[in-house]
Amino acid sequence: MKNYKPFFEKFFNNQLTSEEFEKFLSEIEKIIKKVFRTSFYAQIEEFFQKLCGTEYLRELAYELLLRFLTNRDYLLSLNYINEKYIFSCAKNFILQHLSSGFKSVKKEISFANLESQESLEEEKINLEESLPQYVVDYLETHRIYHIIRILKERLTSKELETLCWYIYKQIYQEEFQLNVDRNVIYKRWERLRPKLREILREDLDEEITSSKLFELIRSEICEKLSYILK
């Protein structure tokens, strides 16, 4: 049976190439898929897919990988890490999600707090010292795309337009053209703020770089909306 400990050792010691990391992540995805197939009813996997989107296996794999990082010392103390061990960890991980109702304690961040120039600077990521930068970037970007998907799902088209107007105005000091009276826009923003706070409290990780979040919202939502509105 394959011994995964060398992969973990290289990962923890910043020795995996980007190609090796992708292969490692893909193998974890396959193990998670096997867990769903052999340990749960099909409806459970469908539920995760509906909740996390089509990339649910990738999202679960990188989240499980982060959990492994918090147990780095224990994993390195093991003589052998086989698929059965990762399978067991993945199964417990899924059960924890199910039993907790997918609730986790995260730092509450006000959307207004993201306006300052300080927040636009690159924030220090706790994992920077233990992970290669390409892994940090990968995990962070994946998390941001998850947030963007949630925004698209939970905000109406008018709310997305208002969000873009706010980001262009407050962050980039640019105009986002809307054929709406200014007073109406401000009223929309006041109604939108509580909803955004709720979404960000649930889904925004404190390790997310604000500038990257705004840039991806701009490219993935606002620029497409701007094209449609022209």
pLDDT tens by residue, 113-163: 443 333 333 333 343 444 556 556 766 776 787 788 888 888 999 999 999
pLDDT in tens, 185-217: 999 999 999 998 888 776 555 556 788 888 989
- Residue at token pair 């992708």: 22
C-alpha to C-alpha distances, 73 to 18, 76, 225, nearest whole angstrom: 23, 5, 47
Residue 54 has pLDDT above 70, yes or no: yes
Tell me the whole-structure pTM to 2 decimals.
Answer: 0.51
> Helix, strand, or coil here: 219?
helix
DSSP tally for the chain: helices H, then strands E: 11, 0
Residue 34: per-residue pLDDT: 94
Size of the chain, expressed as the number of residues it contains = 230
Q: How does 135-165 read in b/e, with b if 16+ C-beta sit within 10 Å?
A: bbebbbeebbebbbbbbeeebeeebbbbbbb
Domain layout of the chain by residue ranges: 5-100, 112-229
Continuous segment of H or E residues that includes residue 64:
helix 56-70
